[in-house]
Amino acid sequence: MILILLGAPGAGKGTQAERLVTEYGLVQLSTGEMLRSEVKSGSELGQKAKEIMESGQLVPDDLIIKMISVRISQESDAEGIILDGFPRTTEQAKALDIMLKEKDLRINHVIQLEVNEEEIVERLSGRFSCTDCGMGYHEKFSAPANKGICDKCKSTNFTRRSDDSPKTLRNRLSAYKEQTALILPYYSTKGCLKSIDGMAEMDIVFDEIKKVIDGD
């Protein structure tokens, strides 16, 4: 199964994808995560992507398409794949169709998580994570039980994503509105797009996604 999660930054794609991995045994492919690990390793791709990511703009299509194509091929034995953060442009959506066709695969569901801009800014500006185990937190909605101590691994080191800063966030939202939102009609014309209220409580959003997958 190929499932695409669409939505603005902070819509909850990553959180819901992680839950779907546990529930259905799917593999989550997040282009944002892949790029962050390329930047960390200092690879050629990482060096090209670093500044662009820090500015909140989109990394060029050719680099992204090459990167994701390799990963999809590596997951040929998987139960299914969740694409989180890809595609983000019409060019990427078209390239995905071609690469799936070559691998005898097809998109089963495209799920859009709808969240308004005010909520996105509130969600992203308050989020941080444990530097050591990666556990995600939010200042207002899900702070650690003991201030300054990670619930999971007791570390006292926390980090914020540099691209969650107010200025970069504005660019990321513009990139979503001006480039990524344009692919919604592409998928609705194909008849595989479902929109879900991403403002609802996390468990409710998860149930709605499951209904789409299970065909209820």
Yes or no: say if 200 and 206 are a contact pair by the CB < 8 Å rule.
Answer: no
Give, as ranges, the residues between 78 and 97 that touch ligand AMP (CB under 6 A).
85-86, 88, 92
Shortest distance, CB of residue 18 to ligand AMP, whole angstroms? 13
Is position 172 annotated as part of the catalytic site? yes
Of 7, 12, 56, 198, the one binding ligand AMP (CB under 6 A) is 56
Please give the Cα distance from 113 to 164 (Å, whole number).
19
Please give the Cα distance from 177 to 174 (Å, whole number).
5
Q: Among residues 36, 48, 71, 161, which one is catalytic?
A: 161
Is position 127 annotated as part of the catalytic site? yes
Shortest distance, CB of residue 162 to ligand AMP, whole angstroms? 10
Sequence-ordered strand ranges (E) for 106-166:
109-114, 127-130, 136-138, 158-159
Residue 2 belongs to what H/E stretch?
A: strand 2-6
37 versus 156: smaller Cβ distance to ligand AMP: 37
Q: Among residues 172, 177, 210, 211, which one is catalytic?
A: 172
For ligand AMP, the nearest residue by Cβ is 32
Please give the Cα distance from 181 to 60 (Å, whole number).
17
Is position 161 annotated as part of the catalytic site? yes
Backbone φ, ψ for residue 24 (5° rounding)? -115, 0
Of 2, 3, 6, 9, the one binding ligand AMP (CB under 6 A) is 9
Q: Kindly indicate which of the ranges 55-63, 100-108, 120-128, 206-214 contains the residues binding ligand AMP, using the contact rule CB under 6 A.
A: 55-63
Long-range contacts of 72-77 (CB under 8 A, 24+ apart): 72/29, 72/99, 72/100, 72/103, 72/105, 73/103, 75/27, 75/29, 76/103
Q: Give the footprint of ligand AMP on this chain (CB under 6 A).
A: 9, 31-32, 35, 52-53, 56-59, 64, 85-86, 88, 92, 163, 172
Residues marked active site are found at 13, 88, 127, 161, 172
